């Protein structure tokens, strides 16, 4: 009989950061185990539950007994099982007895295979298994494979020692209304669980279930526990928004997840702190509230921090004054610490902290943070000069960019590095772009993060990331497989995004050369620029695919080994537009053919291309017509390309399709007459150069 199955393991409080994974793994393990043993119907649906004290899963349409199965068992090779007369041998009788089929005779067996591979098989029907046996195995397998951060050993009341993520106190297993007789971690399954420690209607916190389908509803109604992780999260989010009113609530997903894993019956209360703390940079206050207390900060519509904040409690009461007051007392010392650090840090300028960077090791093969700062400063100045930006500001911004690493605030909250540098630089009276560079040079920190907003910040950010790429690569610590301990992929993506999205007219080769020059004085330095450029172009392919360009379109542009990226997107858009033209397929195929011909005759082409096409050697009508078409179209292509009209450049080529097709149909390029052959190669070289100004369109050929 098909019924809903419910399994719950009741424990002490589980690790909040691991709860979601534990819940999902517990449910998946049981579902997969039952599915493998054929206890689930095709329309069975699993619902995962997890709270701070329980892991559970509800599965619909679970069979009480698995279906009978036809099993084809290989017995023995014929050469072993039968004698010369075809009668069964003693090994055959022994094998059949061992398998539980002593009454089976040779006539009941099937012969299959040929020659030495011929064997005897027996097909029989195996009776289905009861749910309890299959579920017991599935439950044990699921519990054994849980992604447990750290096992805990504890003793059961009977004195036996058990290992699990936290001590387990109860096992609930219902199939419809029936208890499934399971055991796990020294526990026997029943139909009861425990509700909320303080809010459950029953003094002993017990909740007894009649039917497996009543689980979530009864646990909420009688036990004051919201069993579903997502349901609790949705409740918290809704309450936070309601309490925030016209203000904005800062609720990062990671914080929501962690708080959801800490409460069974979430209730949101409003608290306040003294206005005087708002003089401290709000990032400090927000971070300490989120990191240390798991509180939710509020801002006004303009993003300015409010002196009120929200907490998520596990207690629902009509008189929350003690809860609110307690949390306000807890947060006050943390905010006082932040205020103290801020005031102390301001007593010493960022510039005065620079000498201390020589005591901070960056990498034992690359020197101290002070040496690194010197490299970044020189590089930022060189990049600013190439950008046409203020070199002095870029060098000053780079010089001070890492100084806040030595402040008390960043020592307490490393996540604030850069942000505090901006505050302290402003306090020191530095130029606004220099101050902003302290935080902007870390951007983009992650995929989708904002880019630096100032020219100075951009120059310093490029210098910081390029110095890391070249420096770390030069000591042999480039990414391998999934390992990238120095985040070189992220640094490369950051450089590429700045070059692309800001359309910076900078040469990658020149940037890498400038970077390598800053390491020239280091003994044994080997310039890895060529490898780093290849690495960056591979990352560029990924960026462009995410923007919707096809692999062929991307290769058409990157096949030319571009050194600047400021017009890459425009070239790709032009290639897309060209690919949509009816003439594109024919021209792409012709260009591929031309490329192959020229490649096979590189030496001859290098001699004749500079001389150009000799009109006197044009013999066939098709080559005369093509040469005329090339001469006619060339100025149009040059003008469009010079004006940055890449789409117009490629569309102009569409005029050549018929003439190109006719040339390859009617003209023998590799003529026996050497002069004639070289002239035709010169014509193709001229055509090839014109066709590939924007991109290698041969890459569009299927």
- 60 has a pLDDT exceeding 80: yes
CA–CA dist 649, 693 (Å, integer):
8
pTM: 0.78
Selected from 1.25.10, 2.40.160, 1.10.730, 1.10.1060, the CATH number assigned to the domain covering 568-700 reads: 1.10.730
Determine the Cα angle at 476 with ends 472 and 480, to 5°.
95
Query: 258: Cβ–Cβ under 8 A, 6 or more apart, which residues?
Result: 16, 17, 294
DSSP code at position 563: S
More reliable by pLDDT, 202 or 563: 563
Query: What whole-number distance in Å separates Cα of residue 58 and Cα of residue 174?
Result: 9
Measure the CA angle with vertex 255, ends 254 and 256; round to 5°.
90
Is 90 exceeded by the pLDDT of residue 583?
Answer: no
Instruction: Give the Cα separation of 264 and 51 in Å (integer).
Output: 6
Closest CA to 295 of 326, 319, 317, 318: 326
Rounded to whole angstroms, the Cα distance separating 273 from 329 reads: 9
Identify the architecture of domain 364-547 in CATH.
Answer: Orthogonal Bundle (1.10)
- Which 3 state secondary structure label does DSSP give 208? strand
CA atoms of 131 and 129, how far apart (whole Å): 6
Contact between 69 and 126 (Cβ < 8 Å): yes
Strand 161-164, strand 152-155: pairing: antiparallel
Show the tokens assigned to 260. 């959801």
DSSP assigned state of 314: S
Cα distances (angstroms) measured from residue 611 to each of 573, 615, 636, 672, 692: 34, 12, 22, 20, 20
* CA gap 9, 194 in Å, rounded: 11
- Mean per-residue pLDDT over the chain, rounded: 93
- What is the spatial distance between Cα 587 and Cα 637, in angstroms, rounded to a whole number? 15
- Rounded to the nearest 5°, which phi and psi values hold at 98? -65, -35
Q: What is the per-residue pLDDT across 549-574, written as a single tens digit (0 to 9) for each?
A: 999 999 999 998 899 999 999 999 99
Res 606 pLDDT > 90: no
Mean pLDDT in residue range 195-209:
89
Mean pLDDT (whole number) for 578-600: 87
Question: Average pLDDT of 534-554?
Answer: 94
Two tokens, residue 219: 């646990």
Q: How far is 64 from 3, CA to CA, in rounded Å?
A: 8
Helices (H), 413-487: 419-427, 432-440, 455-474
Beta bridge partners of 296: 310
pLDDT higher than 90, residue 514: yes
The confidence band for 702, taking pLDDT boundaries of 50, 70 and 90, is low
| pLDDT mean over 628-651 | 90
DSSP assignment of 253-311: HHHHHHHHTT-SS-EEEEEE--GGGGGS-HHHHHHHIIIII--EEEE-TTSPEEEEEEE
Full DSSP string of 605-634:
HHHHTTT---GGG--SHHHHHHHHHHHHHH
pLDDT mean over 243-258 = 96
Cα atoms in the 13 Å half-sphere on the side-chain side of 445: 8
Q: Please, are residues 467 and 372 in contact by the beta-carbon 8 Å criterion?
A: yes
Six-digit token string for 93: 């009788």
**The pLDDT of residue 587 is above 90:** no
433-480 pLDDT per residue, tens? 999 999 999 999 988 899 999 999 999 999 999 999 999 999 999 998
Helical pair 391-400 and 432-440, crossing angle rounded to 10 deg: 50
Higher local confidence (pLDDT), 395 or 107: 395
Residues 6+ positions from 450 with CB-CB distance below 8 Å: 443, 444
With beta carbons less than 8 A apart as the criterion, state whether 26 and 9 touch: yes
Q: 666 and 674 in contact (C-beta within 8 Å)?
A: no
Rounded to the nearest 5°, which phi and psi values hold at 310?
Answer: -120, 140
* DSSP line for 261-274: TT-SS-EEEEEE--
Q: Is residue 112 within a helix (H) or strand (E), and if so which, with residue range?
A: strand 110-112
| Long-range Cβ pairs for the range 77-85 (8 Å, 24+) | 77/116, 77/117, 77/118, 77/119, 77/120, 78/111, 78/113, 78/118, 78/119, 78/120, 79/116, 79/118, 81/106, 81/109, 81/119, 81/120, 82/106, 82/120
Q: What span, in angstroms and rounded, lies between the C-alpha atoms of 251 and 310?
A: 10
Q: What is the dihedral of CA 342, 343, 345, 346, to 10 degrees?
A: 110
* Residue 577 in tokens: 């537009």
Chain centroid, CA 469 distance in Å: 20
DSSP H helices in 508-620:
508-518, 529-546, 551-558, 568-579, 584-600, 602-608
Which are the contacts of 214, defined by CB distance < 8 A and separation ≥ 6?
A: none
Question: Cβ-count burial of 181 within 10 angstroms (0-12 exposed, 13-18 middle, 19+ buried)?
Answer: middle
From CA 667, how far away is CA 679, in angstroms rounded? 12
The single residue listed with the structure tokens 């936070």 is: 240
* pLDDT band at residue 612 using 50, 70 and 90 as cut-offs: confident
Query: 3-class SS at 483?
Result: strand
Cβ-based neighbours of 570, under 8 Å, separated by 6 or more: 644, 646
**In terms of Cα–Cα distance, which of 450, 409, 412, 454 is closest to 430?**
454
Longest CA–CA separation in the chain, Å = 108
CB 554 within 8 A of CB 572: yes
pLDDT beyond 80 at 33: yes
Token readout for 82 is: 């039968």
CB 59 within 8 A of CB 113: no
Question: In this structure, what token pair is assigned to residue 391?
Answer: 């070199």
Q: Is the pLDDT of residue 11 over 90?
A: yes
**pLDDT digit string, tens, across residues 313-360:** 999 999 999 999 999 999 999 999 999 999 999 999 999 999 999 999
With 80 as the cut, is the pLDDT of residue 502 above it? yes
User: What's the pLDDT tens digit per position in 124-176?
Assistant: 888 889 999 999 999 999 999 999 988 999 999 888 999 999 999 999 999 99
Confidence at 283, pLDDT banded by 50, 70, 90: very high
Q: Evaluate whether 276 touches 336 at the Cβ level (below 8 Å).
A: no
């Amino acid at each position: 009989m098909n019924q809903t199955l419910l399994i719950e393991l009741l424990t002490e409080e589980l690790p909040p950061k691991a709860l979601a994974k534990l819940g999902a793994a517990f449910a998946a393990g049981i579902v997969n185990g039952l599915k493998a043993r054929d206890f689930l119907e095709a329309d069975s649906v699993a619902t995962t539950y997890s709270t701070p004290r329980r892991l559970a899963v509800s599965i619909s349409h679970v069979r009480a007994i698995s279906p009978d199965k036809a099993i084809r068992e290989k017995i023995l090779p014929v050469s072993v099982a039968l004698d010369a007369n075809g009668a069964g041998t003693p090994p055959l009788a022994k094998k059949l007895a061992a398998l539980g089929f002593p009454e089976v005779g040779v006539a009941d067996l099937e012969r299959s295979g040929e020659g030495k591979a011929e064997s005897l098989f027996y097909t029989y029907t195996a009776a289905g298994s009861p749910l309890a046996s299959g579920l017991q195995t599935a439950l044990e397998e699921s519990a054994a494979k849980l992604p447990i951060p750290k096992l805990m050993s504890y003793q059961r009341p009977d004195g036996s020692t058990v290992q699990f993520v936290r001590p387990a106190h109860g096992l609930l297993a219902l199939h419809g209304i029936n208890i499934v007789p399971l055991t796990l971690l020294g526990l026997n399954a029943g139909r009861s669980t425990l509700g909320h420690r303080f809010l459950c209607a029953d003094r002993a916190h017990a909740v007894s279930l009649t039917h497996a389908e009543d689980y979530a509803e009864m646990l909420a109604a009688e036990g004051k526990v919201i069993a579903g992780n997502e349901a609790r999260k949705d409740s918290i989010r809704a309450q936070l928004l309601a309490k925030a009113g016209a203000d904005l609530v800062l609720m990062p997903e990671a914080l929501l997840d962690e708080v959801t894993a800490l409460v069974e019956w979430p209730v949101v209360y409003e608290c306040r702190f003294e206005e005087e703390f708002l003089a401290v940079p709000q990032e400090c206050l927000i971070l300490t509230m989120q990191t240390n207390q798991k509180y939710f900060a509020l801002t006004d519509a303009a993003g300015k921090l409010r002196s009120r904040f929200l907490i998520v409690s596990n207690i629902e009461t009509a008189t929350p004054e003690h809860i609110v007051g307690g949390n306000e007392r807890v947060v006050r010392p943390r905010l006082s610490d932040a205020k103290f650090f801020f005031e102390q840090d301001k007593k010493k300028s960022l510039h005065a902290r620079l000498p201390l960077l020589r005591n901070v090791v960056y990498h034992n093969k690359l020197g101290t943070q002070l040496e690194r700062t010197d490299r970044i400063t020189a590089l930022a100045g060189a990049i600013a000069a190439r950008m046409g930006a203020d070199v002095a500001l870029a060098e000053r911004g780079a010089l001070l960019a890492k100084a806040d690493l030595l402040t008390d605030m960043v020592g307490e909250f490393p996540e604030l590095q850069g942000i505090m540098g901006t505050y302290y630089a402003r306090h020191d009276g530095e130029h606004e772009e220099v101050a902003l560079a302290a935080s902007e040079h870390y951007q983009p920190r992650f995929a989708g993060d904002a880019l630096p907003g100032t020219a100075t910040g951009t120059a310093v950010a490029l210098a910081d990331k390029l110095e890391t790429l070249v420096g770390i690569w030069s000591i042999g610590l480039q990414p391998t497989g999934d390992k990238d301990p120095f985040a070189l992929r992220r640094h490369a993506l950051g450089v590429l995004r700045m070059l692309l999205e800001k359309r910076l007219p900078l040469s990658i080769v020149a940037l890498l050369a400038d970077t390598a020059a800053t390491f020239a004085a280091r003994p044994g330095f080997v310039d890895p620029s060529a490898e780093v450029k290849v690495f960056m172009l591979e990352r560029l392919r990924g960026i462009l695919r995410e923007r919707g360009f096809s692999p062929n379109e991307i290769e058409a542009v990157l096949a030319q080994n571009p050194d600047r990226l400021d017009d890459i997107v425009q070239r790709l858009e032009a290639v897309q537009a060209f690919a949509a033209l009816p003439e594109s397929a024919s021209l792409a195929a012709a260009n591929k053919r031309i490329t192959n011909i020229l490649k096979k005759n590189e030496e001859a082409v290098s001699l004749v291309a500079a001389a150009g096409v000799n009109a006197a050697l044009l013999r066939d009508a098709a080559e005369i017509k093509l040469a005329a078409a090339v001469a006619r179209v060339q100025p149009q292509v040059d003008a469009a390309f010079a004006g940055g009209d890449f789409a117009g450049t490629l569309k102009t080529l569409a005029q050549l399709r018929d003439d190109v097709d006719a040339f390859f149909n009617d003209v023998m390029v590799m003529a026996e007459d050497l002069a004639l052959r070289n002239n035709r190669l010169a014509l193709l070289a001229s055509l090839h150069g014109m066709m590939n100004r924007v991109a290698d369109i041969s890459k569009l050929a299927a």
